[in-house]
Amino acid sequence: MSETGQFPKMIDLDASRAIDLEALKLQYADKFASYTPRDRPPLHQMPTTSTALPDGRARKYKLEIFPPLLNSSSPWATTVEQIQELYDCEFTGAVTTRTSLLEGFNHDPDVHQHVFFPAGQSATRTGVPKGDESAKTLPDAAATSSLNTYGYSPHTLSEYLGFVNEIVGQRHLGTSTIRKKPFIISVTGTPDEIAMSFALLANAAEMDEDLRLAMEVNLSCPNIDDKPPPAYDEAMLKEYLEAISDSKSTYRGRMAGPDSVPKVGIKLPPYTWKGQFEMVVKCLVEAKSSEPGEGSVIDFITCTNTLGSSLVLDDSLKPTLASEAGTGIGGMAGAAIHPLSLGNVATFRKMLDKHIDTEEIMIIGVGGVEDTAGFERMRKAGAEAVACATALGRHGVDVFSSIIKGE
């Protein structure tokens, strides 16, 4: 409204579709001159989201990630070079490896693929290149979502532990890698294989006090033919939690102290109705640690993984990607899944806080975060730390700097 009390004359779009931006700038020059942007503190100065429980008691997480920003398990954390770059990045508070098996996964590039596509669309050009090259065929602002038909890493768990030792060992040689960041080693397999995986992590942590290790058990990959994600099934989820509990109990007495025992979390799929959330929380409440006063055996949850049963077609109406089942159906990630991921984080935080045994389970929020606004939304929903995958694939480690600096 102007000083005369009259609203500015509206532009008659029926008369002309041309808007004189320069005239508008002059008309409202005084308003622009007096505008002060919102003062945003640097990310490293942002307060912890959940320092207090709803009743005011202090919340104590068992895994520290600071700054509260990291990568999630993805193809862009496969090689030692990629993991080294993530570790050296001053804007990440932890590094997550790509999900590995004890014996490795038979990765086939003709079957296991990814593509970037615009959120709100489910089509690509015919012949669009697969992988990171697909982002180059779209305007940067458009390539915000991804579909993948990947399985797991071709590298074994032992190889990843070797990568971690190599990276951390460089500190002793006087390199620039100074800060001790936690490595979240993402693993999967049968319950017995998860128990063996924990044993390998515990042995590695016992041998080198410089290692800060955590284990993320991926129970949510939607792309393995005839092997549904265990986290959708209550009986299967309980089996995994029991294996984790037994493993932690076995190794607790051997470690130098409780803080040296590798922390354990589970990576969850997206859930869409109340009963699914209640099932997971019930299992977490019942999976109590053998250590008095510790609550649940699970220290953190990562949510969400990709949304399965998703399909992107090219403009000839054929599947853009290959897949194990030959359908091109895979897991969707990025901006397209962001609202669902926010809802999962918010729902889990509220439900976990209702039980004393789960109220200190940390949530790592994943799904469509690519800028500071997305980071803030995820933290507001209840995530203590926020992870990126699709945005990392598009922008590399520079995405973390952009999020922290608000660029």
Token duo for residue 279: 């099932």
Over residues 97-118, mean pLDDT: 95
For residue 54, the model assigns a pLDDT of 83
Q: Is the CB of residue 193 less than 8 Å from the CB of residue 156?
A: no
For residue 260, the model assigns a pLDDT of 79
- DSSP bridge pairs for 366: 387
Residues 6 or more apart whose CB falls under 8 angstroms from that of 345 comprise: 303, 304, 363, 365, 378, 381, 382, 383
When comparing pLDDT for 338 and 206, which is higher? 338
pLDDT at residue 390 above 90? yes
Over residues 238-249, mean pLDDT: 96
SS3 percent helix, strand, coil of the chain, rounded to 5, is 35, 15, 45
DSSP 288-353: B-SSTT--BS--EEEE---EEEE--EETTSSBSS--TTSS--EEEEEGGGHHHHHHHHHHHHHHHT
When comparing pLDDT for 139 and 302, which is higher? 302
For residue 129, the model assigns a pLDDT of 77
Instruction: Kindly give the pairing relationship between strand 300-303 and strand 307-310.
Output: unpaired
Residue with tokens 């490293």: 44
Q: Is the CB of residue 155 less than 8 Å from the CB of residue 98?
A: yes
Q: What count of other Cβ atoms lies within 10 Å of the Cβ of residue 284?
A: 24
pLDDT at residue 174 above 60? no
pLDDT at residue 306 above 70? yes
Q: What confidence tier does 273 reach under pLDDT thresholds 50, 70, 90?
A: very high
**The dihedral sign for the CA sequence 307, 163, 297, 287:** positive
Mean pLDDT of the chain: 86
Phi, psi torsion values for 368, nearest 5 degrees: 80, 10
Q: What confidence tier does 22 reach under pLDDT thresholds 50, 70, 90?
A: low
**The dihedral sign for the CA sequence 55, 58, 63, 67:** positive
For residue 6, the model assigns a pLDDT of 40
For residue 122, the model assigns a pLDDT of 72
Token duo for residue 234: 């209550």
Spatial distance between the Cα atoms of 326 and 321, rounded to a whole number of angstroms: 9
For residue 5, the model assigns a pLDDT of 41
For residue 226, the model assigns a pLDDT of 84
For residue 4, the model assigns a pLDDT of 39
Q: What are the pLDDT digits (tens) for 176-187? A: 545 579 999 999
Over residues 119-140, mean pLDDT: 74
Domains and CATH numbers, the chain: 44-405 (3.20.20.70)
Residues 6 or more apart whose CB falls under 8 angstroms from that of 323 comprise: 111, 149, 223, 329, 330
For residue 31, the model assigns a pLDDT of 42
Q: Is the CB of residue 197 less than 8 Å from the CB of residue 150?
A: no
pLDDT at residue 18 above 50? no
Determine which of 34-48, 157-171, 206-220, 239-253 has the lowest per-residue pLDDT on average.
34-48
Q: What are the pLDDT digits (tens) for 38-66? A: 444 555 455 445 567 888 888 889 899 99
Q: What confidence tier does 140 reach under pLDDT thresholds 50, 70, 90?
A: low
Q: Is the CB of residue 268 less than 8 Å from the CB of residue 301?
A: yes
Count of positions (residues) in the chain: 407
pLDDT at residue 398 above 70? yes
Over residues 240-247, mean pLDDT: 96
Q: What confidence tier does 291 reach under pLDDT thresholds 50, 70, 90?
A: confident
Over residues 112-130, mean pLDDT: 83
